[in-house]
Amino acid sequence: MSSSEILLVDDALFETHASRSNHPERPARLDAARVGVARAGVRVRPLPARDATRLELEAAHLPGYLDSLERLRGESAMLDPDTYVVPRSVEAAVRAAGGVAELATALVRREAKRGMALVRPPGHHAEPDRAMGFCLLNNIAVGARAALAAGAKRVAIVDFDVHHGNGTQSIFYGDAEVLFVSLHQWPFYPWTGAVTETGRGAGVGFTVNVPLGAGADDVVYREAMRRIVRPAVRDFRPEIVLMSAGFDAFVNDPLASMMVTDAGFGGIVGGLVEEAEHAGAPIALVLEGGYDLRGLEACVAASARALIDGAIAGPVLAKIDPAHRAELQTAASSAARTWRSVG
């Protein structure tokens, strides 16, 4: 088992999901991410993607929804105002979910310690019963369930896409085997992800939301990681860490208003790599959003390097503004009820 290489899932099918209109979730994103991996200068080992099985998909989605999606093979349609399908979209989505399931399984079996899935369409908004927000199937949820099926007892999902991962939260809301932590702009689409959403039943405390007002930068994110995300993951003792890696909190992203740099994303990923190491767990990044192509390339490059190198200490200089400091305090107080290392 080597931590000097990244097990990489990619597939030409992911390019076929392409709207004829000027949609931001477009195949060029994949090209940018691929260039980012190449630029990172890290060793990658390709892991062929495969289609998710019906059983794997039913671990995250309702049969009725999967049936309705099957009927859309070969069709073009809008499933909500933002979410398109074209003739090969369902094929691509089933391959994307299967690719993440395959990657998670390989990592649980210790075939590698680091992984990356450059998948499209993205997944974290997809609910058990419907497509939403560019997402058809919840790739990371299917992957997390596959990891559990392969023998992992605890799966941590950290979602740092700028939008709240409402679908992933829904799927695991009552579940104590999966820790779901989300950092996101708030209030903002999809309007879920309040700090008070913490789970249900046995899952209370296993959903941790860190909503942050517009304008949060590397310093705010670094503090959120240090104070809340990393301690919660550490206390949970995951057997695998999966990242819903959206890069739309990037400073130039056209869809959101955060100010994270490529180095900032490297810091987030590197910090989680350190936590995975601490837990003796493998870790993988699953692509979600990110709509500034040059930014996406730089952020993926920094993240790929961080997957291999771990955290690189950055300068601690800037102060956090009072509004963001108050938000961090609120999120930390909530998470501290379940996770004692959160302060």
* Catalytic annotation present for 125: yes
Contact between 284 and 242 under an 8 Å Cβ cutoff? The reply is: yes
Nearer to Zn ion by Cβ, of 197 and 248: the residue is 248
Nearer to Zn ion by Cβ, of 152 and 216: the residue is 216
Residue 167: how many CA atoms within 13 Å on its side-chain side?
28
Rounded CA-CA distance 242/203 in Å is 18
Contacts (CB under 5 A) with Zn ion, residues 287-306: 289
Name which position in 10, 102, 161, 262 contacts Zn ion (CB under 5 A): 161
Does residue 227 sit in helix, strand or coil?
A: helix
Query: Which residues does 307 contact at the CB level (< 8 Å), separation at least 6?
Result: 6, 42, 114, 116, 269, 273, 283, 285
Q: How far is the CB of 133 from Zn ion (least distance, A)?
A: 8
- Peptide bond before 187: cis, by omega within 30 degrees of 0? yes
Nearer to Zn ion by Cβ, of 25 and 275: the residue is 25
Nearer to Zn ion by Cβ, of 114 and 163: the residue is 163
* Residue found by looking up tokens 């192509």 in the block: 293
Q: How far is the CB of 289 from Zn ion (least distance, A)?
A: 3
Region of 19-27, 164-172, 212-220, 243-251 interacting with Zn ion (CB under 5 A): 243-251
DSSP 7-69: EEE--GGGGS---SS--SS-THHHHHHHHHHHHHT-EEEE----PPPHHHHHTTS-HHHHHHH
Residue 98: how many CA atoms within 13 Å on its side-chain side?
17
Query: Which residues does 253 contact at the CB level (< 8 Å), separation at least 6?
Result: 162, 247, 290, 291, 292, 295
Q: How far is the CB of 65 from Zn ion (least distance, A)?
A: 21
Name which position in 246, 266, 271, 295 contacts Zn ion (CB under 5 A): 246
Q: How far is the CB of 27 from Zn ion (least distance, A)?
A: 17
Contacts (CB under 5 A) with Zn ion, residues 36-95: none
Q: How far is the CB of 39 from Zn ion (least distance, A)?
A: 23
Residue 163 within binding range of Zn ion, rule CB under 5 A: yes
| Site size toward Zn ion, by CB under 5 A | 5
Q: How far is CA 112 from CA 8, 54, 267, in A?
A: 10, 26, 22
Residue 121 within binding range of Zn ion, rule CB under 5 A: no
Nearer to Zn ion by Cβ, of 116 and 311: the residue is 116
Tokens of 127: 């609910």
Region of 2-10, 31-39, 155-163, 167-175 interacting with Zn ion (CB under 5 A): 155-163
Q: How far is the CB of 246 from Zn ion (least distance, A)?
A: 4
Contacts (CB under 5 A) with Zn ion, residues 271-290: 289
Rounded CA-CA distance 172/158 in Å is 13
Catalytic residue among 125, 163, 164, 184: 125
Nearer to Zn ion by Cβ, of 7 and 93: the residue is 93
Contact between 141 and 128 under an 8 Å Cβ cutoff? The reply is: no
* Alpha helix segments (H runs only) across 150-252: 166-172, 218-224, 230-236
Query: Measured at CB, which residue is nearest to Zn ion?
Result: 289
Residue 248 within binding range of Zn ion, rule CB under 5 A: yes
Where does this chain bind Zn ion (CB under 5 A)?
A: 161, 163, 246, 248, 289
Active site residues: 125
